[in-house]
Structure formats: C-alpha cells, structure tokens
Amino acid sequence: MGQVIETEADGRLIIPAEVLGAIRPNQQFFIEANGLGYSLQPAMPFLDNLSSPSGKPTPEQWLKQWKELAEEIGKVWPEGVSATQVISEMRR
C-alpha cells in the first residue's frame, strides 16, 4: 500500500526518502497529469541530445552519444537491480 502525502502551503509536495528508495541526491523528476492522477518519472535530459541537426549522426557521434547515455543511465540505475528485473516488473 502507498503512503499519503500532502501539499505544503506553497504547493510543494514532500516525498519521504523511504518512499523514493534508492534515489541519488538532487535527482530531478518529470511530473505529468494523466487524467487519474500524476505520473512521476526520473528526468533524463541527456535523451534530448541523441539526435543531430542533420537527422543522421556520423558513426563516431552515434557511438559517443550512446556511451554518454550509458553513463547517465548508470548514474540513476538502482544498485543491485538487473535490466531483466526491471523489464519483468514493467510487464506485470
């Protein structure tokens, strides 16, 4: 079961650390209204850099972008959790 949180007088929501789990300090999140409530997802601004202005990166650019992406994902990936576990949870 989830935990109830409430807004502060200025509109802020404070989410206790035990609810968030293994989140690094100063992690940013995207919040989106979805009709039934809100969805909160870790922000990954590095995804905005995955395409070149010409529409097709050179092989060197492509490899560099994917290495940067892997590094950024590694920074926010929960320790001790495999990709297989994450995909299994998503499919439930």
Q: Which range among 15-19, 21-25, 29-33, 70-74 shows the weakest confidence by mean pLDDT?
A: 21-25
8-state DSSP, 55? S
Q: What pLDDT shows up at residue 51?
A: 53
Statement: residue 45 has pLDDT above 80: no
Better pLDDT: 37 or 57: 37
Confidence of residue 87 (pLDDT cuts 50, 70, 90): confident
The whole-model pTM stands at 0.40
Helices (H), the chain: 17-20, 59-76, 83-91
Confidence of residue 48 (pLDDT cuts 50, 70, 90): low
Contact 19, 13 (CB under 8 A): no
Contact 10, 16 (CB under 8 A): no
